[in-house]
Amino acid sequence: MRLASRSAASSRFASRSTLRRVSQFTSALTSSLRRGAWESQWGVGGSPPPPWPELAGQTLGILGYGRIGQALARRALAFDMAVCAIRRDVTRSAAAGLSLLGGPDALDEVLRRADYLAINPNAKVPTLVDGDLVLWESMAINLYLAQKYEGPMHCASPEVLGLAAQWSFWAMLEMESLLLDLLQHRAMLPEFARDASYAERDELLLKKPLGVLNDAFARRDYLAGNSFTVADLNVAGILVWGKMGRLNLSDHAAVTRWLGACLARPAYGRVRDRARHR
């Protein structure tokens, strides 16, 4: 199973999992060499092994072919990948070794060629590849994984699944864009581009859905019962942006308690640690 996690709209893109595999492969080789183990199949006189099949022949698209983009391209080419790159001013770099180097007008061509886009036509993350199934939309991926595997996240009944779908759709439709806008104007945009009035408006409009969410906890600790389910995962996964955007939750004590409990889960700690060490 493969979770591709990289955006075409950010400065560099490719299947993040592919890049991670390149780096894991490289560091595995390096550490075995440090231990004195020469694990290469390239024995003297032997024929070279076939190129690493997961990377060889794949196309890496790089948006922003500056110093970092070029360093990335060198590594990808070493693994027999094809590289397409975009640079605002193409005259500033040589196209040697690249399958394509173009200006911003070549963007569509690069998006068309890159392998990541072959699996997610939206050019967004995340995308889950599980056998023959290609699935995008984060909430759908979570619901799918929860149903596919046994464990505490598995929806034990159609009622729980229904509630999980309800709260997931609701959070995306009623809260997500307001929370993202709040986050932009409180934290993500460069200082000069932030507008406090946007953030104020977002907080104001969020009061209604936050009230709905708060009331949901009058009779239960979690959204679909008294234990954490994929409904909580999906809604907390969206509301956490509010926390990052300093959303004022002081009028919503039950939401504050519930969100705190969701974020205190060891699984969330592990996700945060992984993100920090990426």
Chain residues binding ligand GSH by CB under 6 A are: 7, 9, 123-126, 137-138
Q: What is the smallest separation between the CB atom of 195 and ligand GSH, expressed in angstroms?
A: 20
Q: What is the smallest separation between the CB atom of 125 and ligand GSH, expressed in angstroms?
A: 4
Pick the closer one to ligand GSH by CB: 31 or 166. Answer: 166
Q: What is the smallest separation between the CB atom of 95 and ligand GSH, expressed in angstroms?
A: 26
Query: Is residue 258 packed enough to be buried (19+ CB in 10 Å), middle (13-18) or exposed (0-12)?
Result: buried
As a whole number of angstroms, the distance between CA 82 and CA 207 comes to 50
- Is residue 123 within 8 Å of 111, Cβ to Cβ? yes
Pick the closer one to ligand GSH by CB: 120 or 214. Answer: 120
What are the Cα distances from residue 93, in Å, to 98, 178, 224, 274?
Answer: 11, 41, 55, 34
Q: What is the smallest separation between the CB atom of 15 and ligand GSH, expressed in angstroms?
A: 13
- Is residue 21 within 8 Å of 81, Cβ to Cβ? no
Pick the closer one to ligand GSH by CB: 180 or 254. Answer: 180
What's the first-to-final CA gap in the chain, in angstroms?
Answer: 20
- Alpha carbon 266 to its chain centroid, in Å, reads 20
Pick the closer one to ligand GSH by CB: 107 or 263. Answer: 107
DSSP code for 50: P
- Which residue is nearest to ligand GSH, using beta carbons? 9
Of 110, 154, 148, 108, nearest in space to 128 by CA: 148
- Is residue 40 within 8 Å of 56, Cβ to Cβ? no
Pick the closer one to ligand GSH by CB: 7 or 99. Answer: 7
Q: What is the smallest separation between the CB atom of 212 and ligand GSH, expressed in angstroms?
A: 21
Pick the closer one to ligand GSH by CB: 196 or 275. Answer: 275
Burial 136-160 (b: 16+ CB within 10 A, else e): bbbbebbbbbbeeeeeebebeeeeb
Cβ neighbours of residue 17 closer than 8 Å, sequence gap 6 or more: 2, 3, 4, 5
Q: What is the smallest separation between the CB atom of 25 and ligand GSH, expressed in angstroms?
A: 25
Pick the closer one to ligand GSH by CB: 124 or 201. Answer: 124
